[in-house]
Amino acid sequence: MDANIRQILEFLSDVPVGTKKDISAEMNGIFPLAKYPINSQGVSNFVTALMKYTDINQYTSYRREAPLGFIGLNASLNNDGAIELKKELDRVIQGEVSQSAISVNKSIISTNDAIKDTNKRMLEHAVSQENIMREQSNFVKQQLTYTEKQTKFTEDQVGLVKTQNKLYKFTLILTAVNIAVGLGVLIATLMSSADKELLSIQRSQLASKDKELKQLQLLKADTVHYVLHYPILKNSSLKNKK
């Protein structure tokens, strides 16, 4: 069936068979009068073919003045037209289904070919894949070993830090003890210096006292000597005066 005929029949199929519709716009779309005059053979042949499927008021509805074209051209779908349209639509649908099935089959075939090609490539590269997987496995093992070493190293570092902290504490204690001892020595030295100075003062005072005591002893001795010898000296003096 001609595609333009089917277009008109589909346009008329939305109303009951025998019900007329204005098909002027459809006709003017199919046959622009600038290219197909209203009395051209092409238009005449199309209308004749359309009459097989429709009831149409032929050559009674068109304009001869501008704008040229069909106007008020009414037609209705008849029984033959309805049957042929259904057949045509079924054929189109079947063709689309067949085409879709063909496309699906082609897609399946392409997919199968791709799978076969992939399988072939996988078989060809199976050894390489195995080597790659082995290398990956070795790499993972190395990573695990490295991680274990890192964990051990971290644990050792933690132990060293703890030991360092202990050493720091012990060093601080020793430092505090040394400072205390130094302060004690300093205090003892200062106290010793003070004692020496006090001793020196006491010695000086003792020497001074001893000197005073000796002077007193001398004075005492002189006094005693004078007292003891005073009568003798007195008598001697008196004698000399006589």
CATH number at residue 14: 1.10.10
Instruction: Kindly state whether residue 14 falls inside one of the protein's structural domains.
Output: yes
For the cut 70, the answer to whether the pLDDT of residue 93 exceeds it is yes
Instruction: Kindly state whether residue 200 falls inside one of the protein's structural domains.
Output: no
Q: pLDDT digits over 104-115, tens only? A: 778 788 888 877
Average pLDDT, integer, range 131-146? 78
Q: Tally the domains of the chain.
A: 1
The helix (run of H) or strand (run of E) holding residue 70 is strand 69-70
Nearest-angstrom CA–CA distance, 190 and 179 = 16
- Strands across the sheet containing 54-56: 20-22, 74-77, 54-56
Measured over the CA atoms of residue 108, residue 112, residue 113 and residue 114, the dihedral's sign is positive
Q: Identify the residue with better confidence: 21 or 37.
A: 21
Instruction: Kindly state whether residue 39 falls inside one of the protein's structural domains.
Output: yes
Residue 20: left (phi > 0), alpha (psi -120 to 50), or beta?
A: beta
Instruction: Kindly state whether residue 149 falls inside one of the protein's structural domains.
Output: no
- Choose the weakest-confidence range: 50-59, 70-79, 116-125, 229-238: 229-238
Q: pLDDT digits over 186-240, tens only? A: 777 667 666 777 778 878 888 888 888 888 778 877 776 666 666 666 566 666 6
Instruction: Kindly state whether residue 85 falls inside one of the protein's structural domains.
Output: yes
Distances (CA, A) of 85 to 31, 92, 114, 202: 21, 10, 42, 150
Instruction: Kindly state whether residue 158 falls inside one of the protein's structural domains.
Output: no
Instruction: Kindly state whether residue 34 falls inside one of the protein's structural domains.
Output: yes
Domain interval for residue 100: 3-113
Instruction: Kindly state whether residue 206 falls inside one of the protein's structural domains.
Output: no
Average pLDDT of every residue of the chain: 78
